[in-house]
Amino acid sequence: MGLTNLFPTPIYTIKAKGEKYEDIQHELKTVYNKVNFEHLPYAPDAHNVSTDMDGNFFKGCMLTAYKCEKFLNFLDYAVKNYVHQIENKLAQNAPSQNIQWKHELEYTITESWFTKTLHNQYAPYHNHGDSDISGVYYINTNGEDGDLKIRSPHEMFVGNFMYSLITRGSEAGVKLENGVLGLWPSILHHATNPNNTDHERISLSFNITFARQGTQLQSSHYHKYFDDDKANNNPRVK
């Protein structure tokens, strides 16, 4: 009886702290200083994006190419926790459906890249619909150089009274800071506000795809889920 929230939009954030944060920052900044950046030719005011050795955008996983194990361990923990929290929430909301998560599902980081956002640059609205989870990690931000924006998946109902009452708008801002990792379903359209400061914002973006039944991942990096963190060698995030 009463209200039931159907079709939620789960957005997950987690912050690296202490020595873990320092290790990740050092690791990613070292790689950042090695890669080349190009401006996206189809978006004049968009941010600059790292390229591979051949000058291609969004090709391959830079995290595995440069063996960023500190960050990969942190990301693995975050992805696992994100999925488990969704699973637990589903079980609470629909106990009669006997929802069970198969913890041995494998995933791959299909792409990862750095972005560099200068004065007046921004990321236009887009999604990564051929993946399952997309995310960003903020390496260097002053908190005023352009928030992440996520658009409602139900935006086609803009103007409807109940939609307006529920959502209070067709988009929502997500305030990120140094060391914060954000995850969301890849189908969601997202963007950033323009960087109205002289600060250079640096972030790392990535896409994740889960293996489907009867398929095998063809990638340089994947993990399996286990209930026991020790079995998966996942350090707890403090």
Domain boundaries, the chain: 12-93+101-147+177-209+220-224
Mean pLDDT of 109-131: 88
- Lowest-confidence region among 11-25, 71-85, 125-139, 202-216: 202-216
Torsion of CA 226, 107, 65, 81, to 10 degrees: -50
Judging by beta carbons within 10 Å of its beta carbon (0-12, 13-18, 19+), is residue 201 exposed, middle or buried? buried
pLDDT-derived band at 9 (thresholds 50, 70, 90) equals: confident
Considering the segment(s) 12-93+101-147+177-209+220-224 as one domain, its CATH architecture is Sandwich (2.60)
pLDDT at residue 228 greater than cutoff 50: no
pLDDT, one tens digit per residue, over 123-166 is 888 888 789 999 999 999 998 898 888 887 776 666 677 766 66
Q: Which residue has the higher pLDDT, 232 or 96?
A: 96
